[in-house]
Amino acid sequence: MTIPLPPSQVVPDGVIGLDADPGVGLWRGAFRRLRRNPSAIIGAVMVAIFVLVAITAPLLTSYAPGSAEWSGQVTPSSVPGPSPEHFLGLDRFGSDMWTQMVYGAQQSLVYGVVSTAIGLTVGASLGALAGGFGSVGGRIGDWVDTAVMRLVDIMLSIPSLLLAVSIAALLGQNSYAVMIAIGAAQVPIFARLLRGSMLSQGKADYVLAADALGIRKTRIVMGHVLPNSIGPTIVQATLNLATAIIEVAALSYLGLGESDPAVAEWGRMLVAAQDRFDAAPRLALLPGAAIAFAALGFTLFGEALREALDPKSRR
């Protein structure tokens, strides 16, 4: 005769599910922890403001970006400040500062997302290739793993911003060049991260079990190892958005950014503001603060996400 036990005794908390309460998936549990973390909420709000401003830029201003309509009012010693028509005043070239700022947000968002997407796609593919073959092992598996990682090592032998600088210098002055350059510089980070977590997942018991059941290696890797390893890579992508936004501005600063003057870009606004700092410090302070704001939002949120997904912090 079996004595039926209450469910809570059959399944003690935290034994079957990784989370305290059974039945909550990895991402759902992470979301719950995120909602309880104040810095995650602050980060998310900052990101939301940034994204919202970027998307609705044309609605937030009635002027066109880069128009030098009021350039007559700008003199070497003075740049008109805030007025009823120009909420943040004019910039050094006689464009409306507020318009430049909101369109700058749009540029930063597009540059950041596209370049991180490039880095994530290429890097994660390389990492999955190396990690997949590496965790299967065997002669071919190890060979593919080694070959891919040597390529990544070459990219890692140059500091990432300098890698981006070299690639941007090769591709010429346009927005695609900047996105590709910054994306390419992120490739080694994603490749190493995904490969590392796939290799460690490859040694897990459930892989051994699946293997013993006779499930094909490709299915184990694609269906089990990869989905279980992707978490840290997603977190890294969030954090890389912050780096990408800063690096876009850095490339602009070095004269490698978008060359079209009609495009508003925070990095270039900073460069242009340098010689007018005495007359109008806001020209430098506003874009600088905007870059830091966007980067801070993604960093806060990314770090909270990392913490939420970390098994050690699941309590």
Interacting residues toward other proteins by CB under 8 A: 150-151, 153-154, 157-162, 165-166, 169-172, 242, 246, 249-250, 253-256, 270, 274, 277-278, 281, 284-285, 288, 291-292, 295-296, 299-300
**CA end-to-end distance (rounded Å), the chain:** 37
CA within 13 Å, CB half, 179: 16
Write out the two tokens for 276: 């007018």
Shortest reach from residue 90's CB to other proteins, in Å = 20
d(CA 285, CA 88): 12
Shortest reach from residue 185's CB to other proteins, in Å = 10
Q: Determine which helix (DSSP H) or strand (DSSP E) holds 239, and give its type and residue range.
A: helix 231-253
d(CA 156, CA 231): 22
Shortest reach from residue 201's CB to other proteins, in Å = 23
Taking the least distance from each CB to other proteins, the nearer of 178 and 210 is 178
Sign for the CA dihedral angle at 199, 204, 210, 211 comes to positive
Shortest reach from residue 193's CB to other proteins, in Å = 15
Shortest reach from residue 153's CB to other proteins, in Å = 5
Taking the least distance from each CB to other proteins, the nearer of 85 and 142 is 142
Write out the two tokens for 169: 């210098």
Taking the least distance from each CB to other proteins, the nearer of 149 and 210 is 149
Taking the least distance from each CB to other proteins, the nearer of 54 and 251 is 251
Shortest reach from residue 118's CB to other proteins, in Å = 18
Shortest reach from residue 77's CB to other proteins, in Å = 15
Taking the least distance from each CB to other proteins, the nearer of 16 and 154 is 154
Q: Using only C-alpha atoms, what is the Rg of the chain?
A: 25
Taking the least distance from each CB to other proteins, the nearer of 29 and 43 is 43
Residue with tokens 């927005």: 175
Taking the least distance from each CB to other proteins, the nearer of 68 and 161 is 161
| Cα of 34 vs its chain's centroid, Å | 18
Q: Which residues of 269-302 are buried (b: 16+ CB within 10 A; e: fewer)?
A: bbbbbeebeebbebbbebbbebbeebbbbbbbbb
- In 10 A of CB 232, how many CB atoms? 16
